């Protein structure tokens, strides 16, 4: 799913567009005990509660694609009877009315979700009547020919409110505030099936993680059964590992600067599809080659790539490129350079020492004070 498709589903979480048919929930304490289960028609809820739930569901579809929101696919074996995709499909098709399936789902989450405190599992079913689109991109609400039937799961931490004093209007007095268990913003969630090309894609789902580096791998494996996806940080580390292993002693400033510039050119050329723009092994080899990496250094590239990333895995360009900064760092100094002016910095040998050379043709400021060059 790309940003535009995600936004289209987010828009359904409002009173005007609400397509939610049913909401179910399970409250779990810090000892992994199910303390409460509930289920009801969503539109029967008080309006104030609906708005609070809308906020949670929107948050579950928020963040950056490739970091907080990850497209995940099911291995073929999980789509057969007894597989995780097959189970989620049964759950969706039941429209959350099958108590046995719901209980089994909660048990799977409780068993695999790594969280030592209280949390709330929320699960909704919705049916979105997808409007057609004219050639100019305008939506035609009377020309719908498909219904996107989906479930959305949000797992929210529940924590005790802070102790404090409050004003009691009835007693006109300051007194100790009652501490309540407050449902927080979702930490994890998923949308099934994925909404690709504005229709249901049963072979994929969209996974949400508030913290990009805490993907709850065991939960993904046991409950979703999806193909492993590297976090944004892991992708960047893997990219650095490839450069280090492949270039070796040839990993100099000029080549790294050239790679940085070429990556940014790719981003500019593909900014309309940046959410899904990724480099495979062949693309990465071409990037290194055009950036000045010698052919002899590329002899070990295939092996280095397979070990760091995986033979058939790809790296999202948005996760490995830095368009907003160009940092040069030594143990004692950090220099931040405008990414478009990385050419201003050179590495030269002066009096037998390697030096960073930056031409100073305009004013220089130190801690906010203009100094004379």
Looking at residue 149, its pLDDT comes to 95
Do 188 and 249 share a domain, yes or no? no
pLDDT in tens, 153-198: 999 999 988 888 989 898 999 998 888 889 999 999 999 999 999 9
**Count of Cβ atoms closer than 10 Å to residue 191 Cβ:** 24
The CB-side HSE value for 208 (13 A sphere, CA atoms) comes to: 24
Do 147 and 10 share a domain, yes or no? yes
In this prediction, residues 77-84 reach a mean pLDDT of: 92
Looking at residue 228, its pLDDT comes to 76
Do 263 and 348 share a domain, yes or no? no
Task: Report whether 334 contacts 345 (CB < 8 A).
Answer: no
Q: Give the predicted TM-score (pTM) of the model.
A: 0.84
Among candidate residues 204, 227, 250, the one where a domain is terminated: 227
Do 7 and 124 share a domain, yes or no? yes
Among candidate residues 169, 203, 227, the one where a domain is terminated: 227
Looking at residue 134, its pLDDT comes to 64
Q: Name the domain count of the chain.
A: 3
Do 141 and 281 share a domain, yes or no? no
371 to 66, 225, 313, 358, 365: CA distances (angstroms): 43, 60, 51, 16, 6
State the pLDDT confidence band at 39, using cuts at 50, 70 and 90.
very high
141 to 134, 156, 213: CA distances (angstroms): 10, 34, 40
Do 117 and 209 share a domain, yes or no? yes
Do 122 and 205 share a domain, yes or no? yes
pLDDT exceeds cutoff 90 at 372: no
Query: 295: left (phi > 0), else alpha (psi -120 to 50), else beta?
Result: alpha
Among candidate residues 166, 200, 227, the one where a domain is terminated: 227
Do 138 and 285 share a domain, yes or no? no
Do 268 and 352 share a domain, yes or no? no
Do 34 and 154 share a domain, yes or no? yes
Looking at residue 256, its pLDDT comes to 86
User: Is the preceding omega at residue 193 within 30 degrees of 0, hence cis?
Assistant: yes
Do 270 and 298 share a domain, yes or no? yes
Q: Residue 66 is part of which domain span?
A: 3-227
Do 310 and 348 share a domain, yes or no? no
């Amino acid at each position: 799913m790309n940003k535009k498709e995600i936004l289209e589903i987010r828009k359904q979480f409002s009173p005007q567009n609400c397509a939610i048919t049913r909401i179910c929930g399970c409250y779990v304490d810090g000892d992994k005990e199910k303390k409460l289960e509930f289920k009801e028609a969503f539109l029967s809820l008080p309006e104030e509660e609906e708005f609070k739930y809308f906020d949670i569901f929107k948050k579950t579809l928020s963040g950056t694609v490739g970091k907080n929101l990850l497209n995940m696919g099911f291995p073929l074996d999980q789509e057969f009877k007894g597989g995780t995709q097959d189970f989620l499909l049964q759950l969706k098709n039941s429209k959350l009315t099958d108590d046995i399936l719901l209980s089994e789902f909660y048990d799977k989450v409780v068993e695999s979700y790594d969280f030592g405190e209280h949390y709330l599992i929320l699960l909704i079913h919705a049916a979105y009547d997808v409007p057609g689109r004219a050639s100019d991109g305008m939506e035609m609400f009377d020309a719908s020919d498909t219904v996107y039937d989906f479930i959305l799961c949000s797992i929210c931490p529940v924590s005790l409110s802070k102790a404090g004093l409050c004003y009691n209007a009835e007693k006109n007095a300051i007194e100790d505030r009652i501490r309540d268990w407050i449902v927080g913003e979702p930490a994890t969630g998923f949308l099934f099936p994925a909404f690709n090309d504005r229709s249901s894609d049963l072979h994929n789902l969209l996974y949400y993680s508030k913290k990009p580096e805490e993907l709850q791998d065991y939960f993904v494996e046991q409950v979703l059964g999806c193909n492993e996806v590297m976090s944004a940080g892991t992708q960047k580390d893997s990219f650095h590992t490839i450069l280090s292993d492949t270039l070796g002693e040839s990993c100099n400033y000029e080549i790294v600067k050239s790679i940085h510039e070429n990556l940014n050119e790719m981003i500019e050329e593909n900014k309309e599809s940046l959410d899904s723009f990724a480099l495979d092994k062949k693309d990465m080899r071409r990037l290194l080659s055009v950036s000045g990496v010698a052919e002899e250094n590329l002899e070990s590239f295939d092996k280095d790539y397979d070990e760091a990333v995986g033979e058939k895995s790809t790296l999202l360009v948005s996760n490995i490129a830095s368009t907003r900064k160009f940092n040069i760092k030594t143990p004692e100094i950090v220099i931040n350079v405008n990414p478009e002016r990385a050419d201003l910095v050179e590495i030269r040998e002066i009096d037998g020492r390697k030096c960073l050379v930056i031409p100073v043709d305009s004013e220089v400021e130190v801690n906010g004070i203009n100094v004379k060059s």
